[in-house]
């Protein structure tokens, strides 16, 4: 299931990796694609949207509703 | 020996950690303090200045001469 999040605060490649790792820790099968310039995180995962958003927030980034 | 570097491109806490780790990999005894807002990296180390600068550059940051 494709889910798109708008994530603020990703400033560099380390941030992309941190967000990717947070999502994959929650769901190792998840596919993650990040377009940092667009603040966009696309996730293919069966996990609930709010769980994925919370995993991103726990890394210190804000996720738009 | 206190050595100060002006480093461009550190945008977040991950970057500070990457620079710190790079320096400490070169010299585990090094003391490192980073003021990201000032692009300033202070290192207390006996390693040659150019070796420290190169370690920072290898992480993808530019170091002013």
pLDDT tens-digit series, residues B15-42: 999 999 999 999 999 999 999 999 999 9
- Cβ of residue A65 closer than 8 Å to a chain B Cβ: no
Between CA A3 and CA A15 the distance in angstroms is: 19
Q: Mutation test of the interface with chain A: which of B10, B14, B17, B22, choosing the one with the most A Cβ atoms within 10 A?
A: B14
- The fold adopted by the segment(s) B2-64 is Alpha-Beta Plaits (3.30.70)
**Hey, what are A19's tokens?**
């967000």
CB distance B3 to B42 below 8 Å: yes
pLDDT tens string A8-42: 999 999 999 999 999 999 999 999 999 999 999 99
Residues of B in contact with A12 (CB under 8 A): 9, 11-12, 14-15
What pTM does this model have?
0.84
Report ipTM for this prediction. Answer: 0.74
| Confidence band, pLDDT 50/70/90 cuts, at residue A65 | confident
**Hey, what are A30's tokens?**
């998840």
Contacts of A47 (CB under 8 A, 6+ apart): A26, A27, A30
Task: Considering only the C-alpha atoms of chain A, give the largest distance between any 2 of them, rounded to a whole number of Å.
Answer: 27
């Amino acid at each position: 299931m494709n889910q798109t999040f708008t994530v603020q605060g990703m400033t560099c490649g380390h941030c992309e990796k941190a967000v990717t790792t947070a999502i994959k820790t929650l769901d190792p099968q998840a596919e993650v694609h990040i377009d940092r310039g667009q603040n966009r995180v696309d996730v293919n995962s069966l996990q609930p949207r709010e769980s994925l958003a919370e995993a991103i927030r726990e890394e210190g980034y804000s996720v738009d509703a």
